[in-house]
Amino acid sequence: MADDKPNCKVVLANNIAKSLLEEVHTGLKKIDRKPHLVGFLSSADPAARVYAEWTGKTCRENGFAFTLREVDRELLEDALLDANTDTAVDGIIVYYPIFGSRQDQYLQQIVSLNKDVEGLSHRYIFNMYQNIRFLDPESTKKSILPCTPLAVIKILEYLRIYNTILPYGNRLHGRHITVINRSEVVGRPLAALLANDGAHVYSVDIDDVQEFTRGVGLRKRRHEVVEKPGWTVENCLPISDVVISGVPGDKYKVPLHLLKPGAVCVNFSSERNFAPEVKEKASIYVPAIGKVTIVVLLRNLLMRQKRRS
Amino acid sequence: MADDKPNCKVVLANNIAKSLLEEVHTGLKKIDRKPHLVGFLSSADPAARVYAEWTGKTCRENGFAFTLREVDRELLEDALLDANTDTAVDGIIVYYPIFGSRQDQYLQQIVSLNKDVEGLSHRYIFNMYQNIRFLDPESTKKSILPCTPLAVIKILEYLRIYNTILPYGNRLHGRHITVINRSEVVGRPLAALLANDGAHVYSVDIDDVQEFTRGVGLRKRRHEVVEKPGWTVENCLPISDVVISGVPGDKYKVPLHLLKPGAVCVNFSSERNFAPEVKEKASIYVPAIGKVTIVVLLRNLLMRQKRRS
């Protein structure tokens, strides 16, 4: 509490990952067989290989079995179908981009629902947007959520942005959140998840701003999207309690002068979307999320495994 | 999650009081003697008698001893001085108004620091405004806080508005709070307490608006106050996450159309400052706080007792 240093809590992904890993380790003890994740590498992108190696390392360090299968991309579909029916395989992860086209989306639907730990199957994506949380009417089998958006959710839970005094499903009621990036992989599903949990979300893309909400008083069962013509970050940032940014590349920086004092800032870009001066204004700053994403993957795998046993 | 009913969690003071009482009961078990609270009734105000009886009932129900001493107001000062040195008295509460003038403030300073459970001694009030949390340099003896403002703090803790991931003392960093009422008894100390804990506070009175903050990045050790010329609730409410109102009488109502959707609303007036429609827009609503205030009094008494033993 000196008179010259700002008070901003910088929370590293590693610490959040540790707390999630405890939950994973507890879950592991309850099942008899070590879960087996198989990764398929058919991508020429060096980042894909790095991610594959990183998955393997994290699996082995935490009591999971991991096999990497390097497959010619023309043979990948058959290899996935084999893995789908192979009882020795508990979960499947595929490293993209492969064709870098719509064919990649086609391949994502090849992995069977029971082995998809990334949450990319249409059924899971549909449930996510529709705010349907279980696969069965008895609400015993949880629907899987995509890893990166779920990692952000887990981070906001860790940071107590989710208020546990509110009922499950509404715990972001009253939070105003800006998400910068509206990709189909992270930005848009994240905005939908946050709004489905009760937040008032401003989804910012290079072209426009959209508002994702469940309406005043959260009357709607799931979010709806409204265009905000003429809006930019100039309108969103000053009214946002939480700012989540994931613009690829090292050029984009969130304009810090627009931040509401004491905002919570989370960066999910591989580059830093927030200049270091964010600490002058934010109450909490999470500079990177990668380590949480990989633990969320293990958590999804464990959920699949528990369902099978 | 129907399509027509708003989602607002109404939290009753009774439930918050229960949770605080558990803490009090645990504390009681650790001391050998039943704490003895003495109430002095010299007031002609019937509300003072009601409050006195209510204190007695709550004390007896929760393992505290209570004695009510009805004293002619001209003899009160001597009676208080006697109680100050009486080892059979652990805590003193005086029911105001008595003279209804500055003489009442004089009497408040008669109760000794060790027996003041209401937190009205100048030393305690000074520490509160100065953000000094302990009486001793070794930080072993906590400074007592006035009951009603502290009750509001305890409510905001219960509602998770205090974020425990932030360091103690800064847990309201990023919260924007409007307090309507700036009395010396509740409104102004409450605004100061909230700002000292890191909040950005708009203190609204009939005449003007003042901003209580520790500066951007909470650089200041304690809050500072800045006038906001021309501001009214029209400016404060739309940017406030939490709205706390305590305007006496049944005429004043918070203008609900100005509320930020999902705001947290707390009423500390004996009348309702929020119309029932607040539930259309708020995420959490606390209609009254009286039952929490009295438990906070017992908690203060217990803190004094622990210090003596």
CA-based nearest distance B6→chain A, Å = 4
Rounded Cα distance between B275 and B250, Å, is 11
Number of structural domains (chain A) is: 2
The answer to whether position A237 is within a domain reads: yes
CATH code where residue B206 lies: 3.40.50.720
Residue B307: per-residue pLDDT? 62
Question: Measured between CB atoms, which of A5, A167, A216 is closest to B280?
Answer: A216
Domain boundary among A76, A94, A117: A117
Give the pLDDT mean for B84-88.
96
Q: Which residues contact B265 (CB under 8 A, 6 or more apart)?
A: B242, B243, B244, B245, B254, B259, B274, B278, B282, B284, B285, B286
Rounded Cα distance between B117 and B303, Å, is 9
Residues of B with CB below 8 A from A169's CB?
A: 1
CA distances from A47 to A59, A95, A298 (A): 18, 9, 20
- pLDDT greater than 70 at residue B74: yes
Burial class (CB in 10 A: 0-12, 13-18, 19+), A74: exposed
Residue A175: per-residue pLDDT? 97
Rounded Cα distance between B176 and B263, Å, is 10
Whether residues A158 and B174 touch (CB distance < 8 A) is answered with: no
Closest residue of B to A158, CA-based? B165
Contacts of A161-167 spanning 24+ positions with Cβ under 8 A:
A161/A241, A161/A242, A161/A264, A162/A197, A163/B159, A163/B160, A164/B160, A165/B9, A165/B11, A165/B158, A165/B159, A165/B160, A165/B284, A166/A198, A166/B9, A166/B283, A166/B284, A167/B7, A167/B9
Residue A32: per-residue pLDDT? 85
Structure tokens, A99: 């064709």
- pLDDT greater than 70 at residue B217: yes
Question: Measured between CB atoms, which of A3, A9, A221 is closest to B165?
Answer: A9
Residues of A with CB below 8 A from B220's CB?
A: 3
- What is residue A212's DSSP assignment? E
Torsion of Cα atoms, B178 then B180 then B186 then B192, to 10°: 30
Whole domain around residue B53: which residue ranges? Answer: 30-115
Element (H, E) at A175: none
Angle, alpha carbons B29-B33-B35 (nearest 5°): 90
**Average pLDDT by stretches of 10, chain A with 309 residues:** 79 95 93 93 92 94 96 94 96 94 90 94 92 92 94 97 96 98 94 97 96 95 95 97 95 97 96 96 97 94 73
Q: Based on the domain organization, do B106 and B157 belong to the same domain? A: no
The answer to whether position A2 is within a domain reads: no
CB B210: neighbour CB atoms within 10 A? Answer: 19
Domain boundary among A93, A117, A141: A117
CA-based nearest distance A279→chain B, Å = 8
Question: Measured between CB atoms, which of B7, B164, B170 is closest to A173?
Answer: B7
Residue A102: per-residue pLDDT? 85
The answer to whether position A21 is within a domain reads: no
Residue B3: per-residue pLDDT? 56
Whether residues B175 and A262 touch (CB distance < 8 A) is answered with: yes
- pLDDT greater than 50 at residue B226: yes
Angle, alpha carbons B251-B256-B258 (nearest 5°): 120
CA-based nearest distance B187→chain A, Å = 23
Burial class (CB in 10 A: 0-12, 13-18, 19+), A290: middle
Q: Based on the domain organization, do B195 and B255 belong to the same domain? A: yes
Closest residue of A to B222, CA-based? A1
Structure tokens, A89: 């395989």
Structure tokens, B94: 């005086």
Element (H, E) at A299: helix A290-308
Q: Based on the domain organization, do B209 and B255 belong to the same domain? A: yes
In A252-299, DSSP assigns E strands to 264-267, 284-286
Rounded Cα distance between A276 and B131, Å, is 29
Active site residue A147: yes
Q: Residues of B near A (CB-CB distance < 8 A)?
A: 1-9, 11, 158-160, 163-167, 169-170, 173-176, 198, 200, 216-221, 239, 241, 260-264, 279-284
Residue A307: per-residue pLDDT? 62
Q: Based on the domain organization, do A271 and A156 belong to the same domain? A: yes
Question: Measured between CB atoms, which of B9, B167, B221 is closest to A166?
Answer: B9
Whether residues A166 and B283 touch (CB distance < 8 A) is answered with: yes
CA distances from A99 to A50, A71, A167, A183, B73 (A): 18, 13, 43, 18, 90
CB pairs under 8 A between A and B: 125
Q: Based on the domain organization, do B180 and B79 belong to the same domain? A: no
Q: Based on the domain organization, do A281 and A154 belong to the same domain? A: yes
Structure tokens, B21: 């009482």
CATH code where residue A56 lies: 3.40.50.10860
Element (H, E) at A9: strand A9-10
Q: Based on the domain organization, do A169 and A239 belong to the same domain? A: yes
- What is residue A256's DSSP assignment? G
Instruction: Put the strands of the sheet holding B176-180 in their side by side order.
Output: B9-10, B284-286, B264-267, B242-245, B176-180, B200-204, B209-213, B224-227
- pLDDT greater than 50 at residue B1: no
Integer distance in angstroms from the first to the last C-alpha of chain A?
52
Q: Residues of A near B (CB-CB distance < 8 A)?
A: 1-9, 11, 158-160, 163-167, 169-170, 173-176, 198, 200, 216-221, 239, 241, 260-264, 279-284
Asked, as a colleague might, if the bond just before A229 is cis with ω within 30 of 0, I would say no
Portion of chain B with pLDDT greater than 70, in percent = 98
CB burial string A145-154: b at 16+ within 10 A, e below = bbbbbbbbbb
The answer to whether position A5 is within a domain reads: no
Whether residues B216 and A6 touch (CB distance < 8 A) is answered with: yes
Is residue B50 left, alpha or beta, with left meaning phi > 0 and alpha meaning psi from -120 to 50? alpha
Residues of B with CB below 8 A from A261's CB?
A: 174, 200, 216-217
Q: Based on the domain organization, do B109 and B201 belong to the same domain? A: no
- pLDDT greater than 50 at residue B309: no
Closest residue of A to B262, CA-based? A174
The answer to whether position A36 is within a domain reads: yes
Closest residue of A to B175, CA-based? A262
CA-based nearest distance B36→chain A, Å = 35
Instruction: Assign B191 a pLDDT band (cuts: 50, 70, 90).
Output: very high
Residues of B with CB below 8 A from A11's CB?
A: 165
The answer to whether position B154 is within a domain reads: yes
CA neighbor of B211 nearest in space, from B221, B223, B197, B198 = B223
Structure tokens, A56: 């393997």
How large is the ipTM?
Answer: 0.79
CA-based nearest distance A185→chain B, Å = 28
Residues of A with CB below 8 A from B224's CB?
A: none
Q: Based on the domain organization, do A178 and A242 belong to the same domain? A: yes
CA neighbor of A79 nearest in space, from A69, A91, A65 = A69
The answer to whether position B141 is within a domain reads: no
- pLDDT greater than 90 at residue B100: no
Q: Based on the domain organization, do A158 and A286 belong to the same domain? A: yes
The answer to whether position B87 is within a domain reads: yes
Q: Based on the domain organization, do B275 and B183 belong to the same domain? A: yes
CA-based nearest distance B57→chain A, Å = 30
Q: Based on the domain organization, do A89 and A174 belong to the same domain? A: no
